[in-house]
Structure 1
Amino acid sequence: MVHRLEPIVVRHTHRLPAPSRPGAPAGQGAVVARQFDAALMSVGFKLSADLLEYLSGLPEATVVDTAARTLGTVRESVGDHVGHNAYFIDFPLNVPDTFEFWTHCIAGALADDASRGSVLAQLRTGVVDLLTLPSYGRYQHSYAELLAAHDELIAAAGDRMTVLHLGGALEEEVTALYLALAGSTTPLGEEGLRDLGVLAGHCVAGPQPETIPVRENRAVVNLARLQAGADLLLDTVTDVLRLACALSDGDVTLAEPTRFRALSRPARRALLAGLDAVVGADPAKLADVSGHREAFKRLGERLHPHEYPRWPRAAEVFAVARGEVAARSLTSRVEELLGAGDVTGAVRLLATAPGMLFRSLDRLLRAGRTPEERDTVVAAVEQAAPQVSGRVLLSVREHLHNRTGEADGRRLFVNRLGRAWVTTDTRPPLPAPERDRLLAALDAETSRRLPDPGHLLIDPDVLDVALPLSGKATTAGLGVLPRGSLTPVDGELLRFFVYWKQTGHSTDFDLSALMLDDSYETLGWLSYTSLSQVEGEHSGDVTDAPDGGSEFINLRLGAVRGSAIVPQVNIFSGEGFEEVEESFFGFMLRDAEQQGRPFEPRTVRMKSDLRGPGRVALPLAFLRGDDGRWHAKWLHLYLKGNPNANRVEGNRMSVATLLRGIVGRDHLTIRHLTELMGERATATTLWDGMSFPAGPVTYIGLERPEGLHPDSVVITPENLRDLIPA
């Protein structure tokens, strides 16, 4: 159990559950604990003073076992669990000119009896396929040889140091994390849902959250409850559909169709009984079926409702899906009223579904032809605001903030999978009086729900981090922030890295970096077709990764032309991001004289999984401000790309258009919530990185510092979702 649950706690909380203390002599584990601390520091982590002291009082064997598990967890979180070889062994030194390198590969192939004939034939046509050259794209040295070619990393004050804190007993930490994830007010990402499933199975007989507001979280919890024979948490027919998807290892978000498996008789009975109870309690909920008609049809083929006449209401669900029984949806009734120009009637109907009212707000305001009709819309929103989730309040607030009509005419769309596109915004701006009144109402309702923070202590670097309104707007990893966040970047050398390991087919990922000017015009790029520029160097093209492959780009920030750097990962051939065994992207920051290997874990500032649709990944961009300082702008976007041969040269225009769209959008940030919280705080202080108040505080920052009062409330990227009010 420890080996399965402890890593989840460490990843999500940076707390190490306290190993049991079996009454050993004090100080027996001190030497091993210090060795553990030193090993952690080599990968950019460190034990807190309390944790080091606690481990020192344990038996050596317990500390050794704990250290082995924890080191494995943190090394994987930072990407140090694999060997990062580079094609050019001296990288970033001695990277050749691109055409000189290609010529060298051709000369080597001509000197090889096995390849000479093929290369000569290609030369006669005037085109040579680099992938046919024996020395191209395949490591010419081992990882051990690369390590021997590089000096040790020189320690620097700016190296990342993530502190691991002492937690409670394992069962206590697991229960607390389960309650936090299950009761989250915002959807979880892929990793969060997966971990919630493990925790829910373990905690099914223990304490449960008062509510599970996010439907996909509820589906994961219901799966664990079904497998344990516990009562299900169902109040809509869609809850049952999501549970069926979970039973088939499908998509509980319902964004992608699920191929339903043959279900066991107990599972079929549970699902049919659940549907019968939901519809029996409120027949109007049959209207929800139309939104997922095809999925319900396929589910009905697996459940065989005709075999269970004791649940007639369940059979009605599938009759509606087949079109045999009418159950008119609220959406269709609203559309009919709006089509007839009856805005007041549509608002009156939508008032019975506050969430839908809020999601229809922009359209209703534009449809209002008179001040009286628009006033009806605003009044309905003001009245319904207390019944809407905090996430919807803040999402609509962000939307309204960007509807001034002052943008450059572009409209950015990003779906739940990270697929993005930009189109011309043809909507007229919203009327200013109604917009201002709505903003004030949303802020007032949000402020009412926020807790009293007491003394509010804020790390200034966290203020421009976007609110985590959805776990789909980020990815799993270390130091990853929600889409739209802006964070400072301090260092002389910026180094990107990508790692992938193919599953069964030869796969070629290409790391590239695009440099843009103030007008988003291309100034240059680094890629396998452009190995060196004035800004930096590319580590060389790896075209096959049966044992894993890594590529790097090294940039001297002081030499970068223009005002934007956009790293990207292009799939040239082979498996996609969701098909490879493993793939991740990240960046490091170093001082100019630090040297070290191409990959040094304690210089890693961010490492994120690459698991999304499309063939081009855009994890983040780097923007230079008017003061010359660089900031990271978090994107988490995927472009569809081409089936094969994606290159930075081919997607320059689409990348620039997307970047312009997301940079031009104002995301709702932590600054907004802290300003609202500050109105009821006893004091608000921007942390100077040194001293702390004597008493407990509500601390909001990028990392939990040592020295806070033990009764403090701490908000960091690991639990930013706790800021979103219920």
Structure 2
Amino acid sequence: MTNDLDLLLIAHTLRVPAEPAPRGDGTAVARQLDVTLLTAGFKASVALLEHISRMEAGVATQRAQRVVEAVAGLVGDHVRHNVYFQGFPRGVPDTFTFWSECLAEAAGDPDFARRPRRRARRVVVNLLALPRYGRYQHSYAEMAAAHAELAPALGDRVTTLDLGGLADDEARDLYLRLASATTPLREEERDALRGLARHCADGAQPYTIPVRESRAVVNAAQVEAGRTPVDGTVDTVDDVLRLACELAGGDGTLRTPTRFPSFSRARRRLLLGLLDDVVRANPAKLGDVGVRRERWKRLGARLHPGDFPDLAHAARVFAVARRDEHAPSFTSRVEAAFRAGDVYQALRVLEQAPGLLVRSVDRALRSATAPDERQAVVTAVERVLPDVSGRVVLSLREHLGNRDDRALQRIFVNAQARAWSVPDTRARLDPGAVADLVRLCDAETLRRLPRPARLVIDPAIADVALPLSGRSRANGFGTLPRGSRTPVDGDRLRFFVHWRQAARRTDLDLSCLFLDRDFTSPEHASWTNLRGHAFVHSGDLTEAPEGASEQIDVDTGAVAKDVVVPQVLVYSGEGFDDLAEGFFGYMTRDHEQEGLPFEARTVRMKSDLCGTARIVVPVAFVRDGGVWQAVWLHLDQRGRTRFNTVEEGRTTTTVQVRQIVGRRYLTVRHVADLLRAAGTDVAPYTGQELDGPVAFVGFERPDGLPAGSVVYTPANLGELIPA
């Protein structure tokens, strides 16, 4: 458990727990650790090196190995990235030449020559069956020997690892931070919270748990430890359903079905008792049961509510699920009012659920045909806004900022990151009402924001989008919320994908779409087009029993297009969720650096491949005024079961990328502008020495930050969103 906890804490905090150890001379180990970390793009802080150097050498070695293991996994350096063409990016032939060579070689193989099938007077040859195609033709050592050493460059990534406190203290702090987050967590963060909640079940619990999915995780750990759920965290029937799913080892987000086990009698009474309390306090909550009627029926079959006649209110939940009792849903009452054209009645009902009212503002304004009705909408929002979560307030603000931009289509991205878009046929909103609502949102956000005496911001993070939902950001290292923009350094972009199949032959394809500034005239790099002007593909691999890597190298100075969109497609075999391992990322390099195809210290981002989609579009690169920026997408596309190609999906991809690139997202800059307008001293960080505590926002905590300073980095950027 200690090793697992170490890896989790280092991965999520970039801090190494300071565990007690026998004293000795670990100086040599500390030096070796520092050198090894640098090759992976990390450096140890002075405090961490001093801590390792004071340990007994054997213990220091074990500690250093765990640190290296943790950071290697973060950037994808825990596997060997071999490539099909040994000299990549040099020595890669054009596609026609390569295929001709493969066919010529196969024709000289007597066994293969007897296998071609004739169809319609033509010889049909399956490329995947060619002896030379899609399989490594050399070892990793042979490939590595063909490459010069990577030359250091000022633009290489260097991420600092700091020394933390004791492991239990670090675990408690991370647990409380994740549990108290004001936005839904990413999948890997939720998994971390699950483990930490069990580890910290006997310690201090969070004062508030704003996100209901997180409540289910924490409460499941409390119940498993023989305790009761945290006070005030179970107040809807869905909270009980989420808890039951977590206790069953299923999906507490309710996005996928859960198979419920036979719960013990004590656990059945606990769950039914919670339901009984919810319904007794507010019988209207029964209206929520119909949304997930089948799940309630399956849970009822395991809880046997008839065994507990004293919990009659809980039994009503399952009566509603079976339709033995009628309970009109809240949304049906809202729908009835809107269908009747009664805006005032719709607002009266919606005010009972402030969050839903704010999410329904667009519809309410479109339904309001008279000035008095539009003013009623604004007034209702003003009344409920103080009772709405900060992320919902900011989501409305962002929506209003893009609402009447007719250059954009409506794009939808669901909880699984599946995206689709449709033309925007909605009527325009009243400009006066929109201006009033924008003013209300900004005033409410400012009211909740902490007011530091001085705010210092690294300019590079100013255009990072506020994480209004953890689902807008993929699992991995260096990933940022959808819509974020970050500068791109270096002369070359190099994309990489690595996967290892679990049970059956799997062919993933790394491809790239190139578009003009107006998102037209598409070109592509893929296994069907290995090289072109300013790009080179490392070669197609069609199976990965021991792991396989593909890469695409793009010369950003020479490329003629202004939009570059890498993507990963399932051509055949296992989906992303079924793989033993799979991840995508990108590196940046200068022309003179050389090096291996994969060099960890040049990795800028590594994103895990997961989900049930068959196509993943993680990020796009856009050139504006001669400067390249990464624009974070995190889009999944359903695709086909087999044979997905970049050529066939280019229309869908182009439309979706265009909508996200053109959308105005709320960023760190928005928060800074609000605080500046309210009188806060806001200054850019250019490496200057800071005197006195500040609130600092940047990609990393700078050295020498004054004591008492508050730091916001991508790891805790959600804390900028007021509760």
Common fold by TM > 0.5:
yes
Name which of structure 1's ranges 711-720 and 79-88 shifts more when overlaid on structure 2: 711-720
Separation in 1 of the partners of 2:651 and 2:542? Answer: 25
C-alpha distance in 1, partners of 2:136/2:251?
A: 38
d(CA) in 2 for partners of 1:484, 1:73: 28
Q: Is the 8 A contact 1:454 1:681 kept in 2?
A: no
1:572 corresponds to: 571
Deviations 1:202-239 (A, max 9, x none): 11111111111101001111111111111114211111
Higher alpha-carbon deviation: 97-106 or 301-310:
301-310
Which residue among 624, 629, 637 is the counterpart of 1:639? Answer: 637
Corresponding residue for residue 45 of structure 2:
48
Aligned-residue offset at 1:123: 11
Report the CA distance shift for 1:669/1:55 in structure 2 as closer, same or farther (over 3 A).
Answer: same
Q: Does the Cα contact within 8 Å between 1:512 and 1:526 map onto a contact in 2? A: yes
Q: How does 1:522-601 map to 2 (within 5 A)?
A: 522-601=521-600
Equivalent residue number for residue 34 of structure 1:
31
C-alpha separation in 1, matches of 2:355 and 2:626? 43
Shifted more, 384-393 versus 672-681: the winner is 672-681
Which 5+ residue runs of structure 1 have no aligned equivalent?
Answer: none
Cα distance between partner residues in 1 of 2:611 and 2:452: 37
Is 1:215 aligned to residue 212 of structure 2?
yes
* Residue of structure 2 in register with 1:152 after alignment: 149
Q: Give me the whole-angstrom Cα distance separating, in 2, the residues matched to 1:665 and 1:253.
A: 28
2:117–2:123 contact (8 Å) kept in structure 1:
no
CA distance in 1 between partners of 2:291 and 2:120 (Å): 59
Deviation at 1:284, TM superposition (A): 2.1
Amino acid at match of 1:660: R
Tell me, yes or no, if structure 1 residue 171 matches structure 2 residue 140.
no
The 3-state SS of whatever aligns with 1:184 is: coil
Other-structure match for 2:9 = 9
Aligned counterparts, 1:85-484, within 5 A: 85-119=82-116, 125-233=122-230, 234-403=234-403, 405-408=404-407, 410-484=409-483
Letter paired with 1:710: A
The CA deviation string for residues 659-678 of structure 1, in whole angstroms up to 9 with x for no partner, is 11112211111111121233
3-state SS of paired residue (1:412): strand
How many angstroms does 1:278 deviate by? 1.6
Q: Distance in 2 between matches of 1:674 and 1:318?
A: 50
**SS of 1:559's equivalent?**
coil
Deviates more, 1:1-10 or 1:39-48: 1-10
- Cα displacement string for residues 28-64 of structure 1 (whole angstroms, at most 9, x for unaligned residues): 2222112111111110110112222232222223321
Aligned-pair CA distance for 1:312: 1.4
Instruction: Report the Cα offset of residue 682 of structure 1.
Output: 4.8
Pair 1:666-2:664 in alignment: yes
Structure 2: which amino acid aligns with 1:55? Answer: I
Residue 121 of structure 1 and its aligned partner are, at CA, apart by 5.1
Deviation string, structure 1 residues 88-115 (Cα, Å, up to 9, x no partner): 1111110011111111111111122221
Deviations 1:548-602 (A, max 9, x none): 1100000110111121001011110001111111110000001101111110000
Cα shift at 1:719: 1.0
CA distance in 1, matches of 2:117, 2:433: 73
Q: Distance in 1 between matches of 2:641 and 2:14?
A: 39
Q: Residue 242 of structure 1 contacts residue 254 of structure 1 at CA under 8 Å; is this kept in 2?
A: yes
3-state SS in 1 of match to 2:421? strand
* SS class of match (2:567): strand
Query: Which whole-Å CA distance do the structure 1 matches of 2:34 and 2:696 have between them?
Result: 26
TM-superposed deviation, 1:327: 1.5
| Structure 1 residue 21: Cα displacement | 5.0
Give the letter for the 1:326 counterpart: H
Which of 636, 645, 648 matches 2:646?
648
SS in 1 for 2:391: helix
Percent sequence identity is 52
Partners of 1:137 and 1:543 within 8 A in 2: yes
Q: Residues 179 and 199 from structure 1, CA distance in 2 versus in 1: closer, same or farther, beyond 3 angstroms?
A: same
1:362-416 deviation line (CA, Å, top 9, x unaligned): 101110111101111100101111100001101111111111x232251111111
Post-superposition offset of 1:336 = 1.2
Distance 1:469 1:606 in 2: 21
State the SS of the aligned residue for 2:133. coil
Answering whether residue 628 of structure 2 is matched by residue 630 of structure 1, we say yes
Could you say what secondary structure the match of 2:185 adopts?
coil
CA contact (8 A) 2:408 2:662 kept: no
Moved more, 301-310 or 570-579: 301-310
1:490 aligns with 2:460: no
Q: Deviations over 1:606-645 (max 9, x none)?
A: 00101123211100100000x2100001000011111111
Tell me how far 1:133 sits from its aligned partner. Answer: 0.5
Q: Residue 711 of structure 2 corresponds to which residue in structure 1?
A: 714
Farther-moved stretch of structure 1 (251-260 vs 664-673): 251-260
Q: Look up the equivalent residue of 2:156 and give its one-letter code.
A: D
How far apart in 2 are the matches of 1:523 and 1:656? Answer: 9
Distance of 2:716 and 2:574 partners within structure 1: 33
**Contact 2:408–2:663 under 8 Å retained in 1:** no
RMSD of equivalent CA atoms: 1.5
Q: Which amino acid aligns with 1:336?
A: A
Aligned partners of 1:590 and 1:406: how far apart in 2? 37
Deviation at 1:514, TM superposition (A): 0.8
Contact 2:117 2:124 in 1 (8 A): no
Q: 1:681 offset after TM fit, Å?
A: 6.1
Structure 2, unaligned runs of 5 or more: none
Contact 1:523 1:561 in 2 (8 A): no
AA of the residue aligned to 1:686:
P
Tell me the CA shift for residue 124 of structure 1: 6.1
Give the Cα–Cα distance (whole angstroms) in 1 for the partners of residues 399 and 373 of structure 2: 21
Maintained 8 Å contact 2:695/2:711? yes
Q: Secondary structure, in 3 states, of the residue corresponding to 1:242?
A: helix
- C-alpha deviation, 1:65, in angstroms: 1.5
- Cα 1:409–1:43 shift into 2, 3 Å: closer
**Equivalent residue pairs, number:** 720
Shift of the alpha carbon at 1:684? Answer: 1.5
* 2:154 partner SS: coil
- Tell me how far 1:258 sits from its aligned partner: 2.3
- After superposition, the Cα gap between the structure-2 partners of 1:710 and 1:122, relative to the gap in structure 1 and judged at 3 Å, is farther
Pick aligned residue for 2:71 from 74, 94, 115: 74
